A and B are shown apart, each in its own frame.
Chain A
């Protein structure tokens, strides 16, 4: 395998509804942004593309991938669609990485989109819930917020996590998004605001949960030679990992923790793992990516993380899966302030603020979650952080981290069914 670099990215502004544009046009906006950001890239240098979108129900169109590819003028070059629920973006990003790493392509465009406004929220919930077992889970009351509420109630039971700790994730991500012009929800909130918001699935309120969006995102990947010809600041993809788990969360085993470097079996003597409180696929994806990137102590060796916070609870669960802290310590991790940005005032007292900023962009909760675009959006925001170009792309530099040489992106599907982790780092 040869080294793979990200050389450019683009994102359409995520909004509740884009009736003014078809999905092809939204992808074109993100593509043109990425294309024009590296003027040395010529169309003939692009060897092929990967299409990332989740639901045929939302598009009401099969083979939508090729329609976006032909709109971009990328025919007759190779294209394929990659799909894996909420992790579609992360899986597609890694499919682009595979195309370049294998030598099949020198330059690969990965584009993603989702058009969720085509139906009302309740119908959208139904479409999403069809990504749970339609024989055994969906008919019982299929609703992803309900599934995540059940998983966090078990996390609360096992570890004593609190709803206030969850609310702090919401405060953090909404506040970060205030400085991100691409984000859908930019709000200054308090813990009380989050808890007093309408209850959706106990204990998750409306402000613990991401929203549906219309949007598109594009990443352009290249091999080393091409990358350095196109930009003097390419970002290297130094580690990739993908984990899986049973579709039905009721089927998850109750066994032993998959230990991260530095963890001991005795740390988890009474913990039955993963059960429904933790995501084994996330732990597995993380450890694969860390091994490949040579990371032994993630919290020291990573500068920031963009993770799949479809729920405030799943952000806390993911801190643990990614070994940013031990299993059971996720609630305390956010309460102490570790995942907040050092330079932003959140109106909270935080003892250890900014150890490792998580979701500096605002994450899914505040940016929105147009599923097929989401994992690529994370890659683009991480790419700009590492390039130190947040000010250029956001129009203001509040979210630019001082230390941003190496970041992690995390994409997550189902009840933790597919999870991808990719490590991005300064390549120049």
Chain B
């Protein structure tokens, strides 16, 4: 996965440390040299082979499914404990404080930035989306936070803790937590 390394910093005119990005492509080899004298085998260079691995899972969201169904219907759902009144902005169907089953509640679609970052690098799956902004959102009436993407800003300097943000939803749901994202309110 090639990634330009110049995004976050100025590139000097002459860069003596310039280096080609290592890639996983290569040549298929069917033969390797082999010595007559077995005692020299310990000096042999290691053989490195390519080893792909890909799986498709049937992954169930189980008891958390209504959260994702809610996003598909432009509703942001959390859960609330009827016993201790604790409200979870990232849902869990059982209260971690008292162990009782919680109930689904609708969260406000406006909140505040509790904290943030801008990622210039990332996991392979999200590299092509860099730079992207991550926030934890706090909501009135909720005791915990929600991790989400923030769009509509260009740099970390545009984001402030306490800044108001509002939820937006993908029209074509992907049944992922990214079906909801936030923009400055």
Contact = CB atoms under 8 A, between A and B. Distances in A.
Report if A and B associate in a common complex: yes
Interface stretch (B30-38, B99-107, B126-134): B126-134
Interface string A230-270: 00000000000000001011111110000000000000000
A146 B122 contact: yes
Contacts of A149: 117, 119
A122 B130 CA distance: 12
Contacts of A196: 9
A62 B36 CA distance: 36
A250 B129 CA distance: 23
A140 B177 contact: yes
Contacts, number: 133
A60 B144 contact: no
Contacts of B114: 154, 276
Contact of A140 (B48, B92, B145, B148): B148
A145 interface: yes
Contacts of A203: 156
A142 interface: yes
Contact of B1 (A122, A136, A140, A151): A122
Interface residues of A, number: 42
A197 B114 CA distance: 27
Contacts of A20: 46
Contacts of B24: 120
Interface in B128-185: 129, 132, 134-136, 143-149, 156, 161, 176-178
Contacts of B109: none
Contacts of A145: 119, 121
Contact of A198 (B8, B125, B134): B8
B151 to A, nearest CB: 12
Interface string B54-66: 0000000100100
A199 interface: yes
A125 B118 CA distance: 16
A251 B96 contact: yes
Given A20-B46, A251-B144, A142 B116 contact: no
Given A125-B122, A150-B117, A153-B161, A141 B61 contact: no
Contact of B9 (A19, A120, A123, A198): A198
B15 interface: no
Interface in B1-59: 1, 3, 5, 8-9, 22, 24, 46, 48, 51, 53
Given A122-B1, A141-B129, A251 B90 contact: yes
6 contacts: A19-B48, A122-B127, A145-B121, A150-B116, A153-B117, A251-B144
Interface of A: 19-21, 60, 120, 122-123, 125-126, 129, 135-137, 139-143, 145-146, 149-151, 153-154, 157, 196, 198-203, 246, 248-254, 276
Given A140-B148, A251-B92, 7 more contacts: A120-B24, A139-B176, A153-B116, A157-B115, A200-B120, A250-B146, A276-B145
Interface of B: 1, 3, 5, 8-9, 22, 24, 46, 48, 51, 53, 61, 64, 88-90, 92, 96, 114-127, 129, 132, 134-136, 143-149, 156, 161, 176-178
The 9 A-B residue pairs with the shortest CB-CB distance, nearest first, are A149-B117, A126-B123, A122-B124, A250-B145, A202-B156, A154-B115, A199-B8, A143-B122, A19-B46
